[in-house]
Structure 1
Amino acid sequence: MSLAADALQPFFVPGLINVEGRPDPTPLADLVGKQRKIGFDLDFDNAAQAVLADFRDTKPVLNSYAYDCSRLAASAFQSMRSLPDLIASSEEVAWGLIRSYYASFYAGHSLMRIFGTSCSHFDRNHVAFIINLGLAYGKRPTFQFNSGLYQCAAFNASTAINMKAIQLNNGGTHETFWKAFSELMKDLAARVLHGPLSQIEAQSVYVKLDSFQKSITSGGLTSGSWLSAVRNEVQYRNGYGAWLPVDIKKHHRETLSRLGAQWKRDPMEIDVGTGAGGQIGEFVVACAFVVALCRTLLTRMRDRSPKPARSFASLGPLSVLRLSEQLAA
């Protein structure tokens, strides 16, 4: 059992661990800004510039968190399963690095759902639907309510959602996401110290999360977008010698391959933040850490479910892992 799972389980969004079966395909943004089957109370908190949706029931809210969590984690695991071979190949190392980034990006989104929040995109249709629904209630936002990325946080024991626009100056979607994710990890690390573990155990988990935090805020990128910056350098500027003619030597690629394969390990055993393998090695380790943490927490969610075989985690993202193992055999 992972000490990280022991430390972080108390902060899972209430009720998600009990969701069974395959969730209905309703993303969080669609739950509030598209579907018409499930009614809810809508309000605008003009002082906080937030949209509030109260369903008076946990089922629709938890279904959407479970659905988003499941599809995003499955994408992460699928992206990682052949990663070591790609990184070891001189012709595919660049795409291996890019895939490792997107795997961590998907896994990070899934992790946010596990803890009851999200970065969800509301398009023009979502915004128009919400405004028109508000008008039907006799309510109108006095703040600027446009399409974009919104942080959606569950509250009222997972019966309601608070949605607030988030953005960075001159930043894109990825930079905005990593800032929100970095803030979540920092908050969780602090809360772990006051959780149910012994002081020594809690401190070890805190140090691991803090090491990851330091990794993704390196290079002066205090917003936590270092992984995105490295990916941009590889993908758009042909940086780090990853494209043909490849400057990354065979022994270094083999090291990177081993580091990337750590996503199947206990995240507590991953030496994130040590700079192993140089800057590009640290990038691969940090990506693997995010995916490993996502896999570990979903496994804990399945194991603590009243019916583990029926858990949404078992039927969704963890089934991708079983398929990978079967294909490898």
Structure 2
Amino acid sequence: MNDTALEIASQPAVWTRGLALAAEARAALAAPGQRTLVLGCGTSWFVAQCLAELREAAGFGETDAACASEFVPRRRYDRVVAITRSGTSTEVLEALRRLPAGVRRVAVTATAGEAVDDLVDTRVLLDFADERSVVQTRFPTTVLAMARAAFGEDLAGLAADGEAALAAPLPADPAAIDHLVFLGTGWTVGLAHEAALKAREAAQAWSESYPAMDYRHGPVAVAGPRSLVWSFGDVPDSLDDAARAAGATPHRDGLDPLAQLVLAQRFAVALAAHRGLDPDNPRLLTRSVILADPVA
């Protein structure tokens, strides 16, 4: 098995370790009443979107998410949380440097002793969730598992759902699929974006992602017999009917959304294998984007 597949398979056990950090994460991330920004790049941006929705829905206060490469400090925040697996991504570091004095800075990272440590007041370290792979799988899902527990969710069944996702058959034969669409609602919109990114990174696949109810507002027009339309979380059943009407294959299941993402990760790796690609060496990608000229 490649590193990516091994790291996908490790997730239920790694989540259990992440859940044990819920109290530490609550102190770093919940901060009741503080206006908070969560930022990241790539996968970490999608995690930031999930975290922002989860934190605000849990009642801890106004929460925004931002792509670090687009961040301009125009609004006032009490706290900024940077998601960065490597602790070295140039655009995340530059965003932290642009923050005004007085903002509480927090990093959630998988690597100690990197540049981000000098730019934050608090660090939540998930080194047990670090990855050899360029393509992120277990780090982002562990961040979300930890945060959900920190925000008060009961995740006693999460690891079991993760094991079920590892054992489940794939929802379609990768040889029959050319086009993937991932749909979410609420915090799972960010998961849909992340699943689509996995398919692009690992398998160079045509993949899209949308808030579920927006799917009928245009994107459904390109669906066809070789499309797989995948729903995360409480997406209305009527979207399956829209997919079938276009000739596409819909997929949904009753697992926890993070476990649903595990199955999507597995599908991306299987699609890569079908296409003769190595997910451990994705085209044009590196573990961390480090820019010689941050404004270039």
Superposed pair shares fold, TM > 0.5: no
- Structure ranking higher in helix proportion: 1
| Bigger radius of gyration | 1
* TM score, norm. by length of structure 1: 0.26
Which structure would you say has the larger RCO, counting Cα contacts within 8 Å and 6 or more residues apart?
1
